[in-house]
Amino acid sequence: MKDTATTVMERCDLLANISEEPNALTRPYGSQAMREANKIVSGWMREAGMAVKQDEIGNLIGCYEGTGEKTLILGSHLDTVRNAGKYDGILGVMVALACVQQLHYRGERLPFSVEVVAFADEEGLRFGTTFLGSTVYAGAFDSERLNLEDKNGVTLREAVRAFGGDPDALENGGRGNGGLLGYCEVHIEQGPVLEELDLPVGVVTAINGQSRVRVGFVGKAGHAGTVPMEGRRDAVCAAAEFVLEVESTAKADPEAVATVGEISALPGAVNVVPGEAELSLDLRHPEDAVRERLRNHLEQRGGEIAVSRGCKHRWQVRQETSAVPVDPELSALLGKAVEDSGLPVHRLASGAGHDAAQMAALTNVAMLFVRCKEGISHNPAESIKGEDVRAAIEVIGRFLSLVAEGERSGRRSEVSREVSP
Ligand SMILES: [Zn+2]
């Protein structure tokens, strides 16, 4: 029998060729490529002994029946960004499938069903809105999104219909949380931490919350040759000071990350002292209270910097999302599974969003990160090692056994409660 990690690597290679573009991996929601990927993956699900269905948005759901009533969900997404790597999302589905395949080979049934979900849209490439698949599945879909249009003017409503679903069924198309034991997602780290620590896998502690702010400094424009340095109200100089303040604030907290990714100067000419500067701030942290404190600190410092340079300060919070903590019990079992696999347990927060964040609205979640080369993702250079995939399969296999052990002992205690007076 072929090693399961080798099979996972081969399957990721194969799916990387299922694309809307000839020489790049681009698999948006509702595309012909997505249709084909779902068809191939549903074949693999059946091979692993699963009953397969597709829901209204196009999420592919395989169910490996257990002996009990409850269900544990494993999964990730099959859609990609433009010119993507082979593993973002896809790896999580393939590892989950490999673990079920092993159960099937052994003829083993767990005391709960295992559902493998391949989400149809996480990246939001086509409609500019992320997590469509997991939002529907978690029962949190908002029908207003149906009017969103792709670049060809096709609405989400039309795309859902073309993909075989009923758009009006999406809002109530969630799975429902009855009998769920939780959701566990395997995903490439998309960062350099595990590689630096020379570890194949890591246990996720939380998915970072995020604040996005537009920051402005308004000074006074003037002639670059005639206005003396003394007394200038240069908005870009204020912005520059603020950017360094952002950096030092984030560096002072080991878990914070903050980025100024956009900056513009007005009027924007080589020979004009900038009268206005506008910049973006992206601030992330696993704890909401800390993120809010850092955000308030930066707002205050921005104001002080503006005053000290004779500028006005604008501060507009555009978007805030809360951090999603993982379930302590599931996460502890995942950590134990890592340890039982003979690996050191390293815990880290996720800086990027994942389907698990949406699934947290439905059930308890846990996540396992797999090392990826140089932390590169959303890029064809995305790369992982077969041996790390092997480690991930072993960890998830052990995780399933540990959850099963808990269920068996839990049920025993329920039974004994019934018989005791
Ligand atoms: Zn992903």
pLDDT of residue 1: 57
Overall average pLDDT of the 404-410 stretch: 91
Distance between CA 131 and CA 326 in Å, rounded? Answer: 18
Report DSSP letters for 88-131, one per residue: TTHHHHHHHHHHHHHHHHHT---SSEEEEEEES-SS-TTTS-S-
Q: Under DSSP, is residue 324 helix (H, G, I), strand (E, B) or coil?
A: strand
- Give the containing element (helix H, strand E) for 406: helix 386-419
CA of 235 to the centre of ligand 1 (A): 38
Overall average pLDDT of the 52-76 stretch: 97
CA of 354 to the centre of ligand 1 (A): 6
Distance between CA 296 and CA 274 in Å, rounded? Answer: 26
CA of 177 to the centre of ligand 1 (A): 23
pLDDT of residue 411: 57
Residue 347 has pLDDT above 70, yes or no: yes
Task: For residue range 95-133, list pLDDT tens digits in order.
Answer: 999 999 999 999 999 999 999 999 999 999 999 888 999
Residue 93 has pLDDT above 70, yes or no: yes
CA of 355 to the centre of ligand 1 (A): 8
Whose CA is closest to 73, among 109, 91, 100, 49?
Answer: 100
CA of 352 to the centre of ligand 1 (A): 8
More confident residue, 419 or 314: 314
Residue 416 has pLDDT above 60, yes or no: no
pLDDT, mean over the chain: 95
pLDDT of residue 2: 74
Q: What amino acid occupies position 286?
A: P
CA of 113 to the centre of ligand 1 (A): 24
CA of 131 to the centre of ligand 1 (A): 10
Overall average pLDDT of the 54-68 stretch: 97
CA of 222 to the centre of ligand 1 (A): 47
CA of 259 to the centre of ligand 1 (A): 21
Residue 420 has pLDDT above 80, yes or no: no
Give phi and psi for 343, each to the nearest 5. Answer: -115, 150
CA of 308 to the centre of ligand 1 (A): 43
CA of 377 to the centre of ligand 1 (A): 9
Question: How confident is residue 412, by pLDDT bands cut at 50, 70 and 90?
Answer: very low
Give phi and psi for 203, each to the nearest 5. Answer: -100, 125
Overall average pLDDT of the 304-323 stretch: 95
Overall average pLDDT of the 72-80 stretch: 98
CA dihedral 220, 221, 223, 224 (to 10 degrees): 90
Task: For residue range 255-267, list pLDDT tens digits in order.
Answer: 999 999 999 999 9
Give phi and psi for 336, each to the nearest 5. Answer: -65, -40
Note residues around ion ligand 1 (Cβ under 5 angstroms). 88-89
CA of 112 to the centre of ligand 1 (A): 27
CA of 416 to the centre of ligand 1 (A): 43
362 touches 182 (CB < 8 A):
no
Residue 76 CA to chain centroid, in angstroms? Answer: 9
CA of 192 to the centre of ligand 1 (A): 16
183 touches 359 (CB < 8 A):
yes
Pairing of strands 312-321, 60-64: unpaired
β strands within 163-240, DSSP E: 180-188, 201-207, 209-218, 222-223
CA of 96 to the centre of ligand 1 (A): 15
In the structure encoding, which two tokens stand for residue 211, read together? 């604040």
CA of 397 to the centre of ligand 1 (A): 21
CA of 151 to the centre of ligand 1 (A): 22
CA distances from 170 to 47, 55, 132 (A): 29, 9, 10
CA of 217 to the centre of ligand 1 (A): 36
Question: Residue 257's beta-bridge partner residues?
Answer: 284
